[in-house]
Structure 1
């Protein structure tokens, strides 16, 4: 029997040399013999192959390869449309083409093999065929792949076979990332194939999804940015040298350089259009520069984002351009005066766009309007955020409960994973106050364990440099620690490992790859990291589906920066010092924090406290404010282990800080009394009735979820009360009494 190597040598010879039908027929017959399809010359395969070769023989070209190119361009589209096929049978007309492809006599285009079912042909290939070996390797990796269903993984293996045929390679490591972009449209199978190729080592990286494979825009140089932005030719050199100097001296943040190039492009396009006699930057006059102000204001209205958001007419885009232009001329005048400066001769002789020029154009008023909008947005978010958080938590708990009943259903697994990440992303941003780019770069290595001199352990979260190039650490509290622990637990479950795996990540903001690390935000739809677009999309979906709305009734589309604003306002509400909030948020100045401080002016706080004091006196009388006596303190000291809260007993020692603010339902430190079960049942009936009313009136999903969670807490506390036997209940209630706390202090002891 002819070896596989000899068959491929014969096929390459028949394809590349002068067209010879006898040589091609011999190669086809040799392959059919190995495939055991040549038992009779009257088989459908043989007849279709002869018919296909007859058509190819009639086409122009010196070699089979040249004639095949004509066949793909002219004949194959006609056959696909049902015109003059070699066989009338629908399942046999393409067998000849498939035979030539699998025999490697031709190297097909994707349009030819895209519809082939490769698993049928793989069964007839010998064990030593490269295609068969590659498929066996991928099938072995498929068993431990964490992405997709078995059917989708089988489809991905077929896709790999087709790509190997299209590329003309015999090994999986012959495929590269660009090969996954050959099909005009992607799909889930290509993401799974990407993961499989990375798993077997064919691609020396971690998996990427379709968007990240396609969006690999390189980091452009300063001169390329100038060209792309459209700076007119007479001023392009000046802007390019300026951006190079700025990147070298001040900051090479890619987004900053890109924004500056666009702003300067708008300015110099205005100069070229309205003052065509100006041929260099040094010839621009202050009067000409001031004319850019109304032009920029009008232009900004036409280039605003199409996505609707609150306050679309109050954006400060035009003023950002003006500041970039003003900064450009200020830097240009300074740097051009230095000896040997490459900017020498480019600077104008007068000051361009002084500060009062921008103020007169309404810059201060625009900033005030923007801050007023921030204030309004934060107040709306504070009202709606509890409902959004309840909606996210409720969806995750429901998905967990459903998955527990059928843990093998891949759709339920995907639903649980998606709802978990919706909750985790929201809580992580709300409890950390991080920027979106800082959140995406978090790794398990950024969770730092420290100890005080007393031996007490505490944890810090290291935040990598972002906006101002400065790293910082923030303390990990109970809420943030819970979210981080849940994320790590889910990642270990997703990968079925004891650790969070190291993966590649590309910083799309800076257009550069980041070091491989155990990133926390990965594993949503595959073994890949999250993108900023994904995070924004999930948060926006959550708020819209929770029914969150502004005061005017317009829907709230939550953004990552909204969570950061809420973090700042909540800490101000909790009387955290402003300079501490500045350090937590990583703000450059304390003025940024003070924007949120204006939400809580001193007069408003003082008046509120005065009103609450009056209400307290009405309820408790003046005796509620008296200074405790020695006897009062002595009696208080006897309650240092248990606190009787009326319907329940708190095991948190008296005087110790309560992290829940004494909101006891659902707290692990609480044991409800059996004698208060009737009270809890009345509460359950009242809340259940309110939930039914909410559903009848079609309240937003977030509000309904909050009511459902409250009912769950009440049911849980009733169950905890009923689990106590009589003896244990009496012992606990007795222990809550002052005399029971210290038996040695009781009379007669």
Structure 2
């Protein structure tokens, strides 16, 4: 079905903005409009609902989709939907001191569902760590409306009102310190088990490779034993290379040894690249064949460098490729190419990319990380 979708798309049977693969259609939703983002919260006051839609539409050209979605969740969900729930009939942005104080009091905590060890689910009340960020967003919303009302009073003037949040309430220094402390503690807890994780990844890759090699050498329809497990190879294969990857184990269950080898390889490669570079997930997904560059020192020596595209920090970086990292990158390049040095049939050099945060397809890129 997926192959048929690709063929029909290449023949122009679908609109030009159709997803590049069927996977993007069935498992990954695209962007929705500001109106649809706001309508998720079933706001009762239509004028305020329309105001939030206009505000998000005005901000949309300067925001990425993830930020726009978070902004809608804060203003429509955490702010106005909460006010409508506790103050029925509210229809104006100008809040009384009592109403503003009550909303900020409710914002401090949140209700969460936690699954216990026995499988039961309980409801608990815990502090809302994002409360300062929500207050800052609401204050910015009010200040934007007030500023726009000066230039377009006919559009925004009726909504201009003092913000219910003072500037002193928007300090996020404590929140940032708590988040950094939590992140550092999580790193300290996980760092001692990193060698064990590396050993397990290497072992899984060796075992998966051994099973797949045994299958490739086994005659069609034969039974073979590897690593203490017995498998039955299929009598024929529909793969172009003639090597099947699906087998039946001793219990009669189907196993895809090729998929297991790919999963084990990319798990090992991901762990090793993270371990030797410290880059982020988004940066790993954007590594391409052009990210590996060379630099000639004044002494004449040539050193390999890994070019990291700008992402969260909006800064381009160059990382010196160590011998260990060079081995990993070499294995990755070999894995996506066949023995002739050309892109293999299973792993094409140009892969359709997906911007998960933007909920949109990106142009095909010669990415290295192709799990």
The alignment's TM-score, normalised by the length of structure 1, stands at: 0.38
Task: Report the secondary structure of 1:284's partner residue.
Answer: coil
Taking a change above 3 Å as real, the CA distance of residues 284 and 313 of structure 1, as seen in their structure-2 partners, is closer
196, 210, 213: which is aligned to 1:387? 196
342, 350, 354: which is aligned to 1:497? 342
Q: 2:248 matched to which residue of 1?
A: none
Q: Does 1:320 find its partner at 2:128?
A: no
Residue 390 of structure 1 and its aligned partner are, at CA, apart by 1.4
Q: Does 1:443 find its partner at 2:252?
A: no
Task: Report the secondary structure of 2:159's partner residue.
Answer: coil
Instruction: Name the CA distance, whole Å, in 2 between partners of 1:422 and 1:467.
Output: 23
Instruction: Name the CA distance, whole Å, in 2 between partners of 1:403 and 1:473.
Output: 38
Q: CA RMSD in A?
A: 3.6
Instruction: Name the CA distance, whole Å, in 1 between partners of 2:301 and 2:286.
Output: 29
Residue 339 of structure 1 and its aligned partner are, at CA, apart by 5.6
Instruction: Name the CA distance, whole Å, in 1 between partners of 2:276 and 2:75.
Output: 39
The alignment's TM-score, normalised by the length of structure 2, stands at: 0.72
Taking a change above 3 Å as real, the CA distance of residues 366 and 465 of structure 1, as seen in their structure-2 partners, is closer
148, 160, 164: which is aligned to 1:347? 160
Q: 2:69 matched to which residue of 1?
A: 258
Instruction: Give the conservation status (yes or no) of the 8 Å contact 2:20–2:361.
Output: no
Taking a change above 3 Å as real, the CA distance of residues 492 and 337 of structure 1, as seen in their structure-2 partners, is same
Q: 1:296 matched to which residue of 2?
A: 107
Q: 1:334 matched to which residue of 2?
A: 147
Taking a change above 3 Å as real, the CA distance of residues 332 and 449 of structure 1, as seen in their structure-2 partners, is farther
Instruction: Name the CA distance, whole Å, in 2 between partners of 1:268 and 1:260.
Output: 12
Instruction: Give the conservation status (yes or no) of the 8 Å contact 1:194–1:207.
Output: no
Q: 2:210 matched to which residue of 1?
A: 401
Task: Report the secondary structure of 1:263's partner residue.
Answer: helix
Task: Report the secondary structure of 2:29's partner residue.
Answer: coil
For each residue in 1:401-423, what CA deviation from the matched residue of structure 2 results, as whole angstroms up to 9, or x when unmatched? 34334434514333222211110
Structure 2 gap segments, 5+ residues each: 217-242, 246-255
Q: 1:600 matched to which residue of 2?
A: none
Q: 1:631 matched to which residue of 2?
A: none
Instruction: Name the CA distance, whole Å, in 2 between partners of 1:285 and 1:357.
Output: 17
Structure 1 residues 544-583: aligned runs within 5 Å: none
Instruction: Give the conservation status (yes or no) of the 8 Å contact 2:277–2:319.
Output: no
Structure 1 residues 192-341: aligned runs within 5 Å: 193-194=4-5, 208=21, 210=23, 212-231=24-43, 232-248=45-61, 251-266=62-77, 267-276=79-88, 278-281=90-93, 283-298=94-109, 300-302=110-112, 313=126, 316-338=129-151
Instruction: Name the CA distance, whole Å, in 2 between partners of 1:494 and 1:346.
Output: 67
Structure 1 residues 669-748: aligned runs within 5 Å: none
255, 259, 262: which is aligned to 1:414? 259
Taking a change above 3 Å as real, the CA distance of residues 315 and 305 of structure 1, as seen in their structure-2 partners, is farther
Residue 213 of structure 1 and its aligned partner are, at CA, apart by 2.6
Taking a change above 3 Å as real, the CA distance of residues 485 and 305 of structure 1, as seen in their structure-2 partners, is farther
Taking a change above 3 Å as real, the CA distance of residues 279 and 331 of structure 1, as seen in their structure-2 partners, is same
Residue 209 of structure 1 and its aligned partner are, at CA, apart by 5.4
Instruction: Name the CA distance, whole Å, in 1 between partners of 2:111 and 2:274.
Output: 32
Q: Indicate the structure with greater helix content.
A: 1
Instruction: Name the CA distance, whole Å, in 2 between partners of 1:277 and 1:401.
Output: 68
Instruction: Name the CA distance, whole Å, in 2 between partners of 1:380 and 1:240.
Output: 44
Residue 214 of structure 1 and its aligned partner are, at CA, apart by 1.0
For each residue in 1:79-99, what CA deviation from the matched residue of structure 2 results, as whole angstroms up to 9, or x when unmatched? xxxxxxxxxxxxxxxxxxxxx
Residue 381 of structure 1 and its aligned partner are, at CA, apart by 1.1
Q: Indicate the structure with greater strand content.
A: 2
Taking a change above 3 Å as real, the CA distance of residues 433 and 495 of structure 1, as seen in their structure-2 partners, is farther
For each residue in 1:44-92, what CA deviation from the matched residue of structure 2 results, as whole angstroms up to 9, or x when unmatched? xxxxxxxxxxxxxxxxxxxxxxxxxxxxxxxxxxxxxxxxxxxxxxxxx
Instruction: Name the CA distance, whole Å, in 2 between partners of 1:392 and 1:434.
Output: 19
Instruction: Name the CA distance, whole Å, in 2 between partners of 1:340 and 1:381.
Output: 55
Instruction: Give the conservation status (yes or no) of the 8 Å contact 1:290–1:353.
Output: no
Instruction: Name the CA distance, whole Å, in 2 between partners of 1:320 and 1:247.
Output: 19
Instruction: Name the CA distance, whole Å, in 2 between partners of 1:389 and 1:227.
Output: 46
Taking a change above 3 Å as real, the CA distance of residues 503 and 365 of structure 1, as seen in their structure-2 partners, is closer
Instruction: Name the CA distance, whole Å, in 1 between partners of 2:86 and 2:208.
Output: 62
Instruction: Name the CA distance, whole Å, in 2 between partners of 1:357 and 1:432.
Output: 38
Structure 1 gap segments, 5+ residues each: 1-189, 525-749
Instruction: Name the CA distance, whole Å, in 2 between partners of 1:467 and 1:245.
Output: 24
Q: 1:483 matched to which residue of 2?
A: 328
Residue 475 of structure 1 and its aligned partner are, at CA, apart by 1.7
Taking a change above 3 Å as real, the CA distance of residues 452 and 324 of structure 1, as seen in their structure-2 partners, is same
Residue 331 of structure 1 and its aligned partner are, at CA, apart by 2.9
How many residue pairs were aligned?
Answer: 320
Task: Report the secondary structure of 2:357's partner residue.
Answer: coil
Higher relative contact order structure (alpha carbons within 8 Å, sequence separation ≥ 6):
2
For each residue in 1:278-302, what CA deviation from the matched residue of structure 2 results, as whole angstroms up to 9, or x when unmatched? 4222x2245422321222234x323
Residue 474 of structure 1 and its aligned partner are, at CA, apart by 2.2
For each residue in 1:124-152, what CA deviation from the matched residue of structure 2 results, as whole angstroms up to 9, or x when unmatched? xxxxxxxxxxxxxxxxxxxxxxxxxxxxx
Residue 196 of structure 1 and its aligned partner are, at CA, apart by 7.0
